[in-house]
Structure 1
Amino acid sequence: MELQKMQNGHSREDGFDGVDALAEHEEFLPHKTGVKKESHFTDFVGKTSFGMSIFNLSNAIMGSGILGLAYGMSNTGIILFTILLVSIAILSAYSIHLLLKCAEVVGIRAYEQLGNRAFGHPGKMLAACVITIHNIGAMSSYLFIVKSELPLVIQAFLGKQENTGEWFLNGNYLIIIVSALIILPLALMKQLGYLGYTSGFSLSCMVFFLISVIYKKFNIPCPLPDKYDNKSLINGTDDFCEPKMFTINSQTAYTIPILAFAFVCHPEVLPIYTELRDATKKRMQRVANVSILAMFVMYLLTAIFGYLTFYGNVQSELLHTYSRVDPLDVLILLVRLAVLVAVTLTVPVVLFPIRRALLQILFPDKAFSWVIHISIAFCLLFLVNLLVIFVPSIRDIFGLIGATSAPSLIFILPGIFYVRIIPEDQEPLLSRSKIQAACFAALGFIFMIMSLSFIIIDWATGESRSGGGH
């Protein structure tokens, strides 16, 4: 009965009549012997609750980029930043709508299979490669935070003034230990839905971070008195401490790709949709909308209160700004620990779509195997650990990856998949929906060209401009 209800729901929403709906969903038709049956949403009964799905998707959205949003606001002004943040959040929700619509029409539950339906095997390989490259970059950025911050946190808790070289203050050893004892066991879960509890805890750590940012706004005056004065920060005047509503400078254009990358969660959308209990397009869209709204509020509040604490003094990494003002601040030390926990618990969520992509490429027809499941997780973590340990210029490498993969995942692929997959008898090529999707994909190309231009300019001038990343 539940299967029949879902099929009827598809028929009503997509405008297919009963015969077309049955034709679309091949499981209602007799199969010829030896003909491969394509995977559909209806072949899998999701067990993850609505709330847990929100935790997982919110955790997928939430990235280390939140630490750079106050810096972004200082280079755009409060009003312009808010307009940009609202626009990117709406565009991200629209992008997820396109993906879910495509998935609903063809009954496919994998990003890579949407690429296969749209462009054949090359489309499948493109989607799988983009997801793999982007998420490996994201995992590496999270482990880089662990590598750089965890030794400082341990050093502070031990009361040491400087790193004296013990093995437990070596970031390379620490990321191996964290990967083996925390990340790998979580990555071995069979289903993504099981990570809902760790995702909820990870989000609670980021809420603690937000509360601390708000609290510090009312405890750090501007201009800084002598007890807070630090030569690395400008002790501003009263005029300097006035918030700017609109600001345009050489760094303003960097805020747009920073914000766009801050909402990348698209590789995780379809796996979460698959495992959602009573899965329908409308229900999954609500999961996405609630998650995006929650992250929008957290991003906006973090940016506003972080900016209103330091104004023009805010640095590209907000926690470093607090530490330079007062290196012995216990609250900021706890916040840094909370952020470390949050990014560590996010790594397994990001790993799941990579494993799904590799399975689609390497073992598309093979049934679930624990050996393959465990082997891929181990090899991925081993590779990411090697990257983080041995590649010193990883920021530039993954800056290049992020400039190409993030616009592809948010804008380009959902837009062109929608144009190719939605049947023309349902929506003609020149219909408003398909024209919007095509323009959406074109916007992604603009973002990509703009982001790549910024990176090339940085490399050419030798300047380091950071402040974001997912």
Structure 2
Amino acid sequence: MDSSYSVIPKDSYVELQIQNDVQELRSQQQTHKRLLPFDGENWVDPKIVDGDDVDDDGDIDIDNYPLVHVTSNNRSGISGAVFNLTTSIIGAGMMALPATMKVLGLVLGCVLIVLIGILSEISVELFVRFSVLCKARSYGEVVQSAMGRTARVLSEICIIINNAGVLVVYLIIMGDVMSGSLHHTGVFDQWLGNGVWDNRKLLILVVVVIFLAPLCALNKIDSLSLTSAASVALAVIFVFVCFVVAFIKLIEGKIEAPRIGPDFGSKQAILDLLVVIPIITNAYVCHFNVQPIYNELEGCSPQKMNQVGRITTVLCVVVYASTAISGYLLFGKDTESDVLTNFDKDLGIRFSTALNYIVRVGYVLHLVLVFPVIHFSLRQTVDALVFEGAAPLAESRKRSFALTVVLLALIYFGSTIIPNIWTAFKFTGATTAVSLGFTFPALIALRLSHQGVILSTGERFLACSMLIMAVIVSIVGVIGNIYSIRSESE
């Protein structure tokens, strides 16, 4: 369960657990001198770390520190962790990337996809390092160790808004693809003609109740490793089909010349340019699931988690760049904010109809399998914020079930009132996503470095750079969104 080790109400379940943990840590510290001390508020005080824990360069040796004490024998290997982390990243944000490529152009678009992916991986590694030093079990606990309880609450609110927004987008995509929209024909319409399946709200409700609710009811993220592997496979199939179709049309000379750089020729083009960078930032946010995945990693250590993060980053950069390039080449200036909706038309090659169905249905299944992974961290964070001091969520089936039902109901309601995924991504990308992925990790690293944790010059520079970038992206994105709304209403 997500809970803090400081400012905890008396007579609570967690306080008794902490007392036992403190006694155990003190005992281990006397015999092994390998664990960080507990000072009554935080799990680390670098000033009093035993000399045996410092290497020859003066850095704290944290490679073998476990993040938490986990008694379960069911641990995931590196492959399972990679699948879960990749699933946390590759989702609906992937569908908006061809539209961002249309705005940025091929060169700048590819550069930003690679650059933001690398920065995101660096922020994850910094975050894991300080999570271990603070003996934190959740994103919020690390934030509280560095910046206090108010910052923790703010970070948890960001996680809730970001994850809820992402899940709403998933449902919007499912509805648009299967039942259609004002400008696009749905899969069911093409298969069966007009019928009850034209009711988008009813279709989404059926998907939520029959397919999503049972997966979301699972209490361990490692239980989703197989579904995560399947979701990654489906995403790769989508990318492969798009890339092959684009390559064939390129060879046949059926693709118009793409834009190489951004367009500054109109006010609307400049406004679009301001809001697309936060969308790319949003596509890489996975930090809220790093701790749960780390906690269930077999033989967990920072080195192992860094290996998981690097493999995941390479995979995601390849998938994202391939999707953005092939999607933009296929549809050019007609590329929609949700590129899946473009696949209701003839692709201009053989077997076009079959390929359209494979792409759309396959990606809807991918989102169905990704949904519970994002929901897991959403439910854990809501529980930590609302029921702080209660027993772990895994030990309270009634509370877990109630939270799952309430959250799914609210997410479903949100999917019925938000117009499209572009609207959702523009705002979450410029606010909560950039905060979770860059602002908080950079602040944590810089704040704890002032408390005695050693950062190299390069790490300090990267942390400062990420913080500056996050502030600029957030301010520019919010201003761009406001002006876009005003221009659309005029």
SS of structure 2 residue aligned to 1:190 = coil
**Residue of structure 2 equivalent to 1:181:** 210
Tell me if structure 2 keeps the 8 A contact 1:10–1:104. no
Distance 1:83 1:400, change over 3 A: closer
Per the alignment, residue 288 of structure 1 pairs with 309
- Answering whether residue 426 of structure 2 is matched by residue 405 of structure 1, we say no
Question: How far apart are residue 443 of structure 1 and its match?
Answer: 1.7
Match of 2:416 in 1: 389
Residue matched to 2:7: none
Q: 2:468 aligns with which of 422, 431, 442?
A: 442
Shift in alpha-carbon separation, 1:290–1:6, aligned structure 2, 3 A: farther
- Structure 1 unpaired stretches of 5+: 23-38, 226-235, 465-470
- Mapping for residues 352-431 of structure 1, pairs under 5 Å: 352-367=376-391, 368-390=395-417, 396=423, 399-422=426-449, 424-427=451-454
Indicate the SS of the match to 1:384: helix
Give 1:290 shift: 0.7
- Amino acid of the structure 1 residue aligned with 2:353: D
The answer as to 2:180 corresponding to 1:154 is: no
Whichever residue aligns with residue 406 of structure 1, its letter is A
AA in 2 matched with 1:105:
L
2:9 alignment counterpart: none
Letter paired with 1:63 = G
TM-score, with length taken from structure 1:
0.82
Q: Report the Cα distance in structure 2 between the residues aligned to 1:40 and 1:222, rounded to whole angstroms.
A: 52
Aligned residues: 424
Question: C-alpha separation between the residues in 2 aligned to 1:322 and 1:376?
Answer: 36
Residues 1:317 and 2:330 aligned together: no
Counterpart Cα distance in 2 of 1:224 and 1:157:
31
From 190, 194, 198, the counterpart of 2:227: 198
1:192 CA displacement:
0.4
TM-score (norm 2): 0.78
Instruction: Say which SS state the counterpart of residue 79 (structure 1) adopts.
Output: helix
CA-to-aligned-CA distance 1:111-151 (integer Å, 9 cap, x gap): 01112212222122111111011100001000111122122
* Alignment RMSD (CA, Å): 3.1
CA contact (8 A) 2:258 2:332 kept: yes
Pair 1:199–1:359, CA change in 2 (3 A): same
Residue in 2 that maps onto 1:134: 162
Counterpart Cα distance in 1 of 2:251 and 2:145? 57
SS in 1 for 2:69: helix
Give the alignment of 1:18-417 within 5 angstroms.
18=50, 41-43=68-70, 47-151=75-179, 152-158=186-192, 160=193, 163-164=194-195, 166=196, 168-220=197-249, 241-249=256-264, 250=269, 251-326=272-347, 329-367=353-391, 368-390=395-417, 396=423, 399-417=426-444
Provide Cα deviations, 1:88-124, integer angstroms capped at 9, x if missing partner.
Answer: 0111011101211110111112001112212222122
Deviation at 1:172, TM superposition (A): 1.1
For residue 480 of structure 2, what is the amino acid of its counterpart?
Answer: F
Q: CA distance change for structure 1 residues 58 and 242 in 2, over 3 Å: closer, same or farther?
A: same
User: Aligned equivalents of 2:107 and 2:263: distance in 1?
Assistant: 12
| AA aligned opposite 2:438 | F
Question: CA distance change for structure 1 residues 302 and 266 in 2, over 3 Å: closer, same or farther?
Answer: same
- 1:354-391 per-residue CA deviation (whole Å, 9 max, x = no partner) reads 11112222223322311111111111001111222345
Q: Is the 8 A contact 1:387 1:394 kept in 2?
A: no
* Map of 2:57 onto structure 1: none
SS at match of 1:99: helix
Q: Deviations over 1:237-266 (max 9, x none)?
A: xxxx33444343324444322211111111
Letter in 2 for 1:194: S
C-alpha deviation, 1:339, in angstroms: 0.9
Separation in 2 of the partners of 1:42 and 1:412?
Answer: 28
- Aligned residue for 1:425, secondary structure, equals coil
Q: Are the aligned partners of 1:427 and 1:434 in contact in 2 as well (CA < 8 Å)?
A: no
Deviation track 1:289-313 (CA, whole Å, cap 9, x = no partner) reads 1111101001111222233334444
SS at match of 1:255: helix
Determine the C-alpha separation between the residues in 2 that align with 1:288 and 1:16: 31
Mind listing any 5+ residue stretches in structure 2 that lack a counterpart? 1-27, 38-45, 55-65, 180-185
